[in-house]
Each structure stands twice: as C-alpha cells, then as structure tokens.
Structure 1
Amino acid sequence: MMEESITITGNGNICLEGYLNRQETGKALVLAHPHPLYGGNMDVPLICRMAACFQSAGIATLRFNFRGTCGSSGEFDNGRGEQDDVRNALAFLSDQGYDQLFLAGYSFGSWVNAHVVSAGVDLCDHIMVSPPAALLSFDQVEQLPNTGLIITGENDDLAPVYLIEDLLCKWKITPQMSVISNADHFYVGALDELGDILLDYLQS
C-alpha cells in the first residue's frame, strides 16, 4: 500500500525520517526497528512485513528511523533518546488525527517500546516481536499494560521463551504468546508464518 515520506521533529532539533501509510479508520501504529548498531532500520524485511499486515487490517502505519540511523539526525543514545523518538512518533500520529494508537517493535525496538509503555502511554494495543531479554535488561520495565501479543522464535537465542515467560510473570500479564517453530532471531524463512500470526491476531 502507498506510503508517504514524512519528517518527525523532536527535542534537541532531532529530525526523524519515516514513512506513513494513511487509513480512514482512526487507528494508527508506530513501528520500532531493531538495533541500529547491528544494521537495524525501518526498512528491514520484518518491519515492512509487519507494516503490511497492519495496513491490511485497516490500521495506518508509521515506520521511522531512530536518531542517528540512516537519514535521521542525532546520535545513537543507548535507548534513552530513542524512547523520546517513540513518544514523538506517537504524538505525530495524534497530530494527524489518529485517536486509537498501537505500538509494535522488533528486538531492540520492542525493548525501547517496553520502557515507553511502562512509563505510561495511552494505547489500544502493544505488540512485541523477539524482545531481546538475553541481550538487554528489562529490569526498569516495571509494568507492561495493554500488551496483547508477543512473538518469538523457537531457536531465538536473544529472545528465548523461558526468559520471556519469566518477564510475563514479573509483569503479571497474560498476552497471546506465539512461538514459531525452527525460527531464529532473524526469522529467515519464517516471515510468512509471522505475518499469518499477526494478521490472525489483528482480525480476531
């Protein structure tokens, strides 16, 4: 579906590049990409596949590059400034007239999002793909309300099922947990199954 190039302005003269797909439903999603120091950006195939699934479900999508990534200004900030990037992306959608907001992230993006959600934000739903509990600490994430779906791979060494289950017990939440057989952290050969899980969830 059609996407238009947009710029999100934030604190400290930070300008983030992104792509917005518009829908008429009032529903819109912010998508957060994986770790920029390991090649993550808004154009990785999994982020694009997730965007397509939400668009098919009638939900507008905003995928963007974190500060210091590709054409976005600023520098990588170890997840601190990136939380502001997510908040500014959500505010951008609100300014565009969307009043039902969704938040989803993959790997590092899901870790950044978790801190934003824990601190408090008005969302319809929060979705995580491969939250990297074996790589990054979630100790400062005290709660995770409105989290409806978590997806990980059976062979995902960075987001192993047992560590995610420990976090769910800590947060006292019971989202749908989908584990894709034989998939690793990069979902090579598993994007179709991931897309099917996401579409089924959004349409249920």
Structure 2
Amino acid sequence: MRREKVIFSCGALRLEGVLVLPDGDGRFSGVVVCHPHPLYGGSMDNNVVRAIGSALVGRSIAALMFNFRGVGSSQGSFDHGRGEQDDVRAAIDFLWGRSEVDNERLGLVGYSFGASVALPVACADRRVKAVALVSLPLMEASLAEEAATALSACTIPKLLVCGDDDFVVPLGALQRVSEQAPQPKEIRVVPGADHFWWGNEGTLAETVADFFSRYIG
C-alpha cells in the first residue's frame, strides 16, 4: 500500500488527511472515512478509523482518512456537526479529483459522530454510491428522529453496524430507525462489542470492507 499525507481546502480552511492507495495500477474505488467526536479525542488516528482504512485497502479500495476542522493540523474549530458536513463534502471533492480513483465508485463511512455527519451528506450527494454507518448515535429521541428522516430518503446501499453492548446505539432504536430505510440496506450487530470496539476492530473493519467491496469494489 502507499500512504500519502494530503492537504485539501474546505472554503477558507485547510484540512489534513492521509490517502492510502492499494498497490498496483489502475483506478480504484475510494471511500472517505469520518472519525468520531472531536471534543472527545476523535481523530483520523482513532483505532476504528485506522482498522477500517487498512481493511479497505486490503480489498483494493482507496481510503481517505482526514481530520475534521479544529482537529490536529486541520484549521478552524468545532462546529457542532454543521461545518463538519462541509468538511466531508470537501473530502469527497478531493477524492473525486484524484487520478488514481474512479469517481463513479465512491463511498462514505462514518464512526459515531462521524456517522451522524456522514449520513445526511451521503444521502444528498449523488457522487456517493454507498454509505456505512458505524455506531450511529441514537441514544436521544432527537438523534433517532433525525437519523430516521435522513434514512427514509436514502436510496443508496446502506450498512448500519454496532455492537450489542453499545450504550450509544440502543438496539430498539436501531431497529426502529432501520425500518424507515428503503432497500438496499444491511444491519449488523456484533456480539460482545461496545461503542469503542476495542478487541473487535478486525471484525468490524472486515464487515465494512466487505460491504463496500460488494457495492463499489
């Protein structure tokens, strides 16, 4: 694999990221990976983000991991999910423009806060052909309602995955929200995994990579 530190623009801000490309020639499918909550230590160096990136590249899918505004060397400050949606669009713009990437085969994956931010972008941006939502926060009624509304209008392939011991994703709420989503959709609950996925990163990452391999690989 080839790792490249990258900088791309989001309006007046400059955001940092790492683009990981599979070995070999040709144009690869590509996935943008969105990290968890910036105010709780989330960054592109998160264990789940790194595991997913590695698994994607193992399936010959390019992975762009980046830091939201105000994280690491990315400029700006936390914007409660609003500006972060712009960050995701800017990351898609960057990946779209790379010559190594087939811009007709792009996906988006988010973990926790990253899933909340990725969901509305994926469902509105026609460049995104599949979306994976890892530990999508549903512990508050308002969050579940927002997710259900977005998913109800989301026609691209969708994966929702969480652990059965995840305090942020009540399984009842997951079931109710997922029922609002049209096909194609996949729901995966990993036994023994909690919100942080320690010790279960491999299982999660392969689940996500398999999903993208089938839909955009």
TM-score (norm 1): 0.92
Displacement of 1:197: 2.3
Q: State the partner residue of 2:9.
A: 9
Displacement of 1:131: 0.5
CA contact under 8 A between 2:16 and 2:67: conserved in structure 1? yes
Higher relative contact order, structure no. (Cα contacts within 8 Å, ≥ 6 residues apart): 2
CA distance in 2, matches of 1:184, 1:169: 22
SS at match of 1:181: strand
Amino acid at match of 1:134: M
CA contact under 8 A between 1:16 and 1:66: conserved in structure 2? yes
Q: Within 5 Å, which residues of 2 pair with 1:17-36?
A: 17-23=16-22, 24-36=26-38
Q: Within 5 Å, which residues of 2 pair with 1:122-161?
A: 122-135=127-140, 137=143, 138-139=145-146, 141=150, 143-161=153-171
- Are residues 58 and 186 of structure 1, via their aligned partners in 2, closer, same or farther at CA, if it must alter by over 3 Å? same
Task: Figure out how many residues of one structure are paired with residues of the other and give that number.
Answer: 203
Q: State the partner residue of 1:64.
A: 66
Higher strand share: 2
User: Are 2:49 and 1:43 aligned?
Assistant: no
TM-score (norm 2): 0.86
Displacement of 1:182: 1.4
Displacement of 1:134: 1.1
Structure 1 residues not aligned, in runs of 5+: none
CA contact under 8 A between 2:139 and 2:169: conserved in structure 1? yes
CA contact under 8 A between 1:152 and 1:160: conserved in structure 2? no
CA contact under 8 A between 2:35 and 2:44: conserved in structure 1? yes
Displacement of 1:174: 4.8
RMSD of aligned Cα (Å)? 1.8
CA contact under 8 A between 1:54 and 1:199: conserved in structure 2? yes
Q: State the partner residue of 1:188.
A: 198
Query: Among the aligned pairs, what percent are the same residue?
Result: 33
Within the candidate set 115, 118, 125, 1:113 is matched to 118
Structure 2 residues not aligned, in runs of 5+: none
CA distance in 2, matches of 1:78, 1:26: 33
CA contact under 8 A between 1:25 and 1:59: conserved in structure 2? no
Displacement of 1:108: 0.4
CA distance in 2, matches of 1:95, 1:26: 12
Within the candidate set 63, 79, 83, 1:81 is matched to 83
CA distance in 2, matches of 1:8, 1:203: 26
- Are residues 114 and 203 of structure 1, via their aligned partners in 2, closer, same or farther at CA, if it must alter by over 3 Å? closer
SS at match of 1:188: coil
CA distance in 2, matches of 1:160, 1:38: 20
